[in-house]
Amino acid sequence: MDRRHFMLGTAAGALMLSAKGLAFAQDAGTVPDLNNFPRNETVIVHNPEGVIRNPGWFNLWANGGGGLSTGLQQLTADTFWYIDPDAGIPDASENAIYYSLAEGPWEYNDDFSEMTVRLRKGIMWSDGVEFTADDVVFTVEKQAATPGTGWYGAFSTQIESVTAEDPYTVHFVLKAPNSRFHTTFAVRWNAAWIMPKHVFEGVEDIVAFDNNPPVSLGPYTLHSYDPNGTWYIWEKRPDWDKTTMALVGEPKPKYVIYRNNISTDNRLIEMRNGNLDMIHDLSPEGNVLDRGARPRSPRLVPRLPLCSSRSDAADGGVQPAEPDVPGQARALGAHTHARCTGHVDGLLSRRGNPVGYLHSADRHASARLSCTDAGVPDQLRTRYRLARHQAV
How confident is the model over 43-59, as pLDDT tens digits? 999 999 999 999 999 99
In sign, the C-alpha dihedral spanning 359, 364, 367, 368 is: negative
Pairing state of beta strands 42-46 and 255-259? Answer: parallel
pLDDT at 273 (0 to 100): 85
| Global pTM value | 0.72
Say whether pLDDT at 301 is over 90.
no
User: In the structure, what pLDDT confidence band is assigned to residue 219 with cuts at 50, 70 and 90?
Assistant: very high
Please say whether the beta carbons of 46 and 256 come within 8 A.
Answer: no
> What does the pLDDT read at residue 270?
87
Residue 325 has pLDDT above 70, yes or no: no
Query: What's the average model confidence in pLDDT over 180-195?
Result: 94
User: What residues are paired with 278 via a beta bridge?
Assistant: 45, 340
ω into residue 305 within 30 of 0, thus cis?
yes
- How does 238-248 read in b/e, with b if 16+ C-beta sit within 10 Å? eebebbbbebb
pLDDT, tens digit (0-9, with 9 covering 90-100), for 91-150: 778 888 999 999 999 999 999 999 999 999 999 999 999 999 999 999 999 999 999 999
The answer, yes or no, to whether residue 78 has pLDDT greater than 60, is yes
Collapsed DSSP state (helix, strand, coil) of residue 114: strand
Query: Mean per-residue pLDDT for 204-215?
Result: 97
Question: Which of the four pLDDT bands, split at 50, 70 and 90, describes residue 290?
Answer: low
Phi (first) and psi of residue 136, to 5 degrees: -65, -45
For the segment 54-75, what is each residue's pLDDT rounded down to a tens digit?
999 999 999 888 988 999 999 9
User: Which residues lie below 8 Å from residue 82, measured CB to CB, with a gap of 6+?
Assistant: 97, 98, 100, 186, 187, 350, 364, 365, 368
Q: Is the pLDDT of residue 332 over 60?
A: no
Contact between 85 and 188 under an 8 Å Cβ cutoff? The reply is yes
Residues 6+ apart with CB under 8 A from 44: 31, 257, 259, 275, 276, 277, 278, 343
Q: Which residues pair with 163 in a beta bridge?
A: 171
Per-residue model confidence (pLDDT) at position 96? 84
Residue 244's closest CA among 378, 123, 392, 119?
Answer: 123
Task: Report whether pLDDT(259) > 90.
Answer: yes
Higher pLDDT, 121 or 188: 121
183/5 Cα distance (integer angstroms)? 57
SS3 of 187-253: ECCCCCCCCCHHHHCCCCCCCCCCCCCCCCCCCEEEEEECCCCCEEEEEECCCHHHCHHHHCCCCCC
Q: Which run of H or E residues covers position 42?
A: strand 42-46
Q: What 8-state DSSP symbol labels residue 129?
A: P
Task: Please give the span between the terminal C-alpha atoms of the chain, in angstroms, as a whole number.
Answer: 60
Overall residue count recorded for the chain in this entry: 392
With a cut of 50, say whether residue 30 has pLDDT above it: yes
Q: Is the pLDDT of residue 28 over 60?
A: no
Percent of the chain scored above 90 by pLDDT? Answer: 49
The predicted pLDDT at position 288 comes to 62
Which residues, other chains included, contact 68 with Cβ-Cβ below 8 Å and sequence gap of 6+?
A: 49
Q: Give the chain's mean pLDDT.
A: 73
Label residue 292 by pLDDT band (50, 70, 90): low
Between residues 336 and 150, the one the model is more confident about: 150
